[in-house]
Chains A and B, each alone.
Chain A
């Protein structure tokens, strides 16, 4: 199964600033997924990142707020821009473990905006 390295694991940021989260996968994958998990809640898909094309955003999420890069088949970044306290969440990246029928997740980035 794929192994994902996600960083930073946590950060405390000032409102109005931006944070870039990185995900490195140990094998090539076609799609990478970015999720948000607000305190005590389930996972909400932010966007799907494909290499060589624009990310596809879910309803309620926009590129200006959450720009995504996918420069190659093993790496992606998610930026949380112009942060406010409402952006305090856990952000997770994920890949499809093709053939295993399930998804592998990074360990998450716990973001606190003050």
Chain B
């Protein structure tokens, strides 16, 4: 059973459209991280959120941590083909302070 439920599993959109990926859990996390993974590579950290209600923006990406620190969302504005990849959320502090629990991932495809 996945500690973190991620949705949707797949997302295919046209360049210029917006998208949102959700990450939900019944557990409280001390921090939540978002990664992007491209084929043949390991996951690359995008952001870490640690405070309930926190919102972080990285250019066209907006990350939000829920007030109760159980859920998070990733919103991409005006998606580009370079945003294509597997997006993974991961929580720290769920079962231990240092081990990460990963969501199942969302495969995002942005068509030119």
Contact = CB atoms under 8 A, between A and B. Distances in A.
A105 B33 CA distance: 13
A92 B100 CA distance: 14
Nearest to A44: B102
B99 A45 contact: yes
B103 A42 contact: yes
Contacts of A97: 45
Given A41-B104, A42-B88, A100-B48, A105 B99 contact: no
B45 A42 contact: no
Interface residues of B, number: 22
Interface size bracket, A side: 20 to 34
A101 B48 contact: yes
Given A43-B88, A96-B98, A107 B104 contact: no
Interface in B76-112: 88, 90, 98-100, 102-105
Interface in A26-77: 31, 33, 41-45, 48
Contacts of A9: 40
Interface string A78-114: 0000000000000010101100111111111010000
A45 B50 contact: no
A43 to B, nearest CB: 5
A105 B104 contact: no
Interface of B: 2, 31, 33, 35, 40-45, 47-48, 50, 88, 90, 98-100, 102-105
11 contacts: A9-B40, A48-B99, A94-B42, A97-B45, A101-B48, A102-B45, A102-B47, A103-B45, A105-B42, A105-B44, A106-B42
